[in-house]
Amino acid sequence: MKLSARNILKGKVAAITTGATTTIVKIEIAEGFVISSSITNEAAKDLGLAVGGEAYAVIKSSDVIIGVP
């Protein structure tokens, strides 16, 4: 897999929650560090995602928003 995105984080699927049209996928990239992504149900099925399986969080964005309490 070759991508132009510079932020590719390898991890394991920690949780999959399927809704009416979208699936929330949580990928643990390090112990205690989880990234969540909302994808279509069709994409989740096509990827063959399974809890405990290897996956990559690919992040490509022109903006990073920072917030503080």
* pLDDT digit string, tens, across residues 49-64: 999 999 999 988 777 7
The CA distances from residue 57 to 25, 60, 68, 69, in Å, are 10, 10, 24, 26
Q: What's the pLDDT score for residue 27?
A: 96
pLDDT tens column, 26-50: 999 999 999 999 999 999 999 999 9
Place of tokens 């390090």: 30
The CA distances from residue 5 to 2, 59, 61, in Å, are 9, 7, 9
Q: Which domain holds residue 39?
A: 7-53
Is 31 inside a domain boundary? yes
Is 39 inside a domain boundary? yes
Is 2 inside a domain boundary? no
CATH number of residue 12's parent domain: 2.40.50.100
Is 62 inside a domain boundary? no
Q: How many domains does the chain have?
A: 1
Among 63, 25, 28, CA closest to 43: 25
Is 45 inside a domain boundary? yes
The two structure tokens encoding residue 11: 């991890």
